[in-house]
Amino acid sequence: MSDKTEITCRNNGPLLISGDNMALKDADGKEFGLGGRTTIALCRCGQSETKPFCDGAHARTSFQSVLEARDLPPKPQA
């Protein structure tokens, strides 16, 4: 595994996050226990019963979303 954290947008599915030293926190800053995982899947369809994690609901609900990489516009100057 690389030092670089990677986020992959799966077509019609979750966001896959891979990295050796990642932390996922709730709104209060408390960390989710990831059980030593170096890859997790986060829900994009909004239907998972284990949010923020994917539970495969996208397949059961026919979630459709195909994404292609693109450049963001330049960051506005302050």
Q: Is the pTM of this model over 0.75?
A: yes
Residue 71: inside a domain: no
Residue 28: inside a domain: yes
**Which CATH number fits the domain that encloses residue 18?**
3.40.5.90
Residue 73: inside a domain: no
Residue 25: inside a domain: yes
Residues 6+ positions from 71 with CB-CB distance below 8 Å: none
Residue 4: inside a domain: yes
Please tell me the distance from the alpha carbon of residue 29 to that of residue 51, in angstroms, as a whole number: 16
Alpha helical stretches, state H, 1-78: 57-60
- The per-residue pLDDT for 57 is 98
Residue 41: inside a domain: yes
- 54: domain range? 1-66
- The per-residue pLDDT for 3 is 77
Q: Which parts of the chain have pLDDT scores under 50?
A: none
Structural domains in the chain (count): 1
